[in-house]
Amino acid sequence: MLTVSGLACSRGERRLFANVGFALGSGEWLHVQGANGAGKTSLMRLLVGLSPADAGEIRWRGEPTPSVDFRREMIYLGHHAAVKEDLTPLENLRLSAALDGVALDERTALAALIRLGLRGREDLPVRVLSAGQKRRVLLARLLTRPAILWVLDEAFNALDVGAVKLLGDLIAEHLAAGGMAVLTSHQPLPVPGGKALVL
């Protein structure tokens, strides 16, 4: 479904990586590894279409990205919290769904927040939550926005033991349901299987 070939990227004059290629099918996931500054985040940004590649191509269902299909079936969570501090977790979920043009009923949104352990905090402004809880609000989007490909950049950072286990479970369930994931991390991830890509 996702095929990447000959991808190259440079920052300024420095070449980060060249000739990166991989393919992901249903139920598979890719673990992107590499030292600090190796270009993991740059690869993620190329992959989702935020920045253009120097060379190479990325295809989703055989079509070059970023296609409309790709945008609809992919979700990217990066370093940023990407949540609005002045809004409540529930409002955040609703608004991102509305911007994405995705229908979201109250029940699904609440269920997602509860699954992420945010019971009782649905109506507090995100501003008063802890860093880990903010991450959890962001991760709740994985459950409210139906996507096939999950692209998660350092998603396990700032999470406590429970949340790491929870996210591992979410990813495993997603894969079991036929989804795909591309993850970056320094540490070993609590998700079984997976291809490895070392930059």
Partner 1 sequence: MKALLATVRRDILLALRRKSEVLTAVFFFVIVTSLFPLGIGPEPVLLKKIAPGILWVAALLSTLLGLPRLFAADHLDGTLEQMALSPSPLGLLVAGKIVAHWLLCGLPLVLLAPVLGLQFDLDASALGILTLALLLGTPLLSLIGAIGAALTLGVRGGGVLLALLVLPLYIPALIFGAGAVEAHIAGLDVGGHLSLLAAMLALAAFFAPWATTAALRVALE
Query: In the set 9, 20, 83, 166, which binds partner 1 (CB under 8 A)?
Result: 83
* 150 binding partner 1? (CB under 8 A): no
DSSP 188: P
User: Which amino acid is located at 58 in the chain?
Assistant: I
Number of shown-chain residues binding partner 1 (CB under 8 A): 29
Question: Which of 151, 177, 189 minimizes the C-alpha distance to 66?
Answer: 151
Q: Residue 164: enclosing H or E segment and its boundaries?
A: helix 161-176
Q: Which stretch binds partner 1 (CB under 8 A): 16-24, 31-39, 92-100, 113-121?
A: 92-100
The Cα 154–Cα 106 span in angstroms is 29
* 163 binding partner 1? (CB under 8 A): no
Query: In the set 71, 154, 168, 194, which binds partner 1 (CB under 8 A)?
Result: 71
Bridge partners, residue 17, by sequence: 9
Measured CA to CA in angstroms, residue 13 lies from 8, 43, 54 at distances of: 13, 17, 12
For the record, the structure tokens of 194 come out as 């997976």
Residues in contact with partner 1, shown as a per-residue x/- string from 29 to 68 under the rule CB under 8 A = -------------------xxxxx---------------x
Phi, psi of 145 (to 5 degrees): -115, 105
* 128 binding partner 1? (CB under 8 A): no
- Compare residues 32 and 48 and give the one whose CB is closer to partner 1: 48
Residue at token pair 């926005």: 145
Q: Which stretch binds partner 1 (CB under 8 A): 22-30, 53-61, 71-79, 160-168?
A: 71-79
* 24 binding partner 1? (CB under 8 A): no
Q: Which residues bind partner 1 (CB under 8 A)?
A: 48-52, 68, 71-72, 74, 76, 78-87, 91, 95-96, 98-102, 125
